[in-house]
A and B are shown apart, each in its own frame.
Chain A
Amino acid sequence: MHELAITESIVSNVVERVGGRRVTRVVLEIGKLSGVVPDAVRFCFDLCAEGTELAGARLDIVQRAGRARCRACGRECECDDLLALCRCGSADLDVREGQELRVREVEVV
């Protein structure tokens, strides 16, 4: 599954930034429209963190809601899945938020 590659990237990104310090907490932002399943990231995290500065760290995942602008009528709407329809009936949505996949911050000692 792609969450394994993604979690490996998360761990290596953090390791690059913490200069050898031990990480106790990682805060991730995962958008609801990103196509990444938070539980799958959790599943992989301990495995990927083993032997690194992130071993044993707590993983906090913040899920960002989706927001899109309808290309047909211009209205903005909240959407939590990719099959959302605008109130005008159009499916032509320009997704603006909710596709994030980022490491926001970490706590180190």
Chain B
Amino acid sequence: MCATCGCSDHADPRVTSPGAQHGSDHDHGHSHEHGDDHHHDVGAPPHVHARPASRIVQIEQDVLAKNDRLAAHNRGWLDGRGIRAWNLMSSPGAGKTTLLERTIRDLGAELAMSVIEGDQATLRDAERIRATGCPVVQINTGSGCHLDAAMLAEGLRQLDPPMHSILMIENVGNLVCPALFDLGEHTRAVIMSVTEGEDKPLKYPHMFRASEVMVLSKVDLLPHLDFDVAQCLAHARRVNPRLEILALSATRGDGLEDWYDLLRRGRQPAAV
């Protein structure tokens, strides 16, 4: 344990409200304990170590059971408050934060929203959201490549989103790992931009299969690209025939009404 601040040697994810004071960084050295060496003195009589009896312990446990239990707890907590949570996932740079900024600016008066940002480092995305006036906290995973249910639970504790609102969780930019970790969200949306190639869904099938919604972003760039939208949609449906697909531009405004309708539709009343 770090004698300076009392936290553990493992670099735990950090949850921060942008604008809050930061504690100074503490350097945490890691010491590794080595297992006992077994020494034999030269000249000692030969001896045999009786092999301790080994036995099988049946475990039969899903590795992600703990995460899934916590995710279910998060989901129940959100349901109890009538909060509809979205898990937004994409490659880094697909336009998640920009879409959120635009959504908050256009819909903020109509729909109560709050945001949980996930990144390895910095508060930059949370600060962008904060500038829109929307409540937000930032989770920094350190070296972690995805958010998990425990991180969301801590984020929810700090953010305390209002009842009957929409919670947008912007996951760490990564098209692989987040697909495996249930956070407790209601809807998973994968965002890919028109600069990423039509075959993206085929190359990352786990992510596209795990999502209910797909957003094709940055369509304002199409005149500068050789991107075949129909082909991309066909590939996406090949991987997941049940995907609800939208194409939009958060900067120019194409397709945003359909996205907003989806958010409006997704709102749910509090559980009685």
A binds B: yes
Binding site for B on A (CB under 8 A): 1-2, 5-6, 9-10, 13-14, 17-18, 24, 28, 34-36, 50-51, 55-56, 81-83, 90-92, 100-109
Main secondary structure of the interface of A (DSSP, over half): mixed
CB contacts (< 8 Å) of B84 on chain A: these are: none
- Complex CA distance for A34 and B51, rounded to whole angstroms: 37
Is the CB of B32 closer than 8 A to any CB of chain A?
yes
The listed residue (B146, B148, B180, B239) touching A36 by CB distance below 8 A is B180
A101 touches B63 (CB 8 A): yes
Whether A91 pairs with B180 at a CB distance below 8 angstroms is: no
Q: How many residues of B contact A (CB 8 A)?
A: 38
Q: Name 21 A/B residue pairs within 8 A (Cβ), A-sorted.
A: A2-B145, A2-B146, A5-B148, A6-B63, A9-B64, A9-B67, A10-B63, A35-B176, A35-B179, A35-B180, A51-B32, A51-B33, A82-B209, A82-B239, A91-B237, A91-B238, A102-B60, A102-B61, A102-B63, A107-B55, A107-B56
Q: Does B54 contact A (CB under 8 A)?
A: yes
B264 is an interface residue with CB less than 8 A from chain A: no
**A5-B144, A55-B35, A109-B52 are contacts. A104–B67 as well, Cβ < 8 Å?**
no
Residues in B neighbouring A35, C-beta threshold 8 A: 176, 179-180, 206
B: residues with CB less than 8 A from A are 32-33, 35, 51-67, 144-146, 148, 176-177, 179-181, 202, 205-206, 209, 237-239, 241-242
B198 CB to nearest A CB, Å = 15
Specify which of A2, A17, A18 is in contact with B180 (CB 8 Å cutoff): A2
The distance from the CB of A47 to the nearest CB of chain B, in whole angstroms, is 10
Closest 3 CB pairs of A and B: A2-B177, A82-B205, A35-B206
Q: How far is the CA of A104 from the CA of B146 in the complex (A)?
A: 26
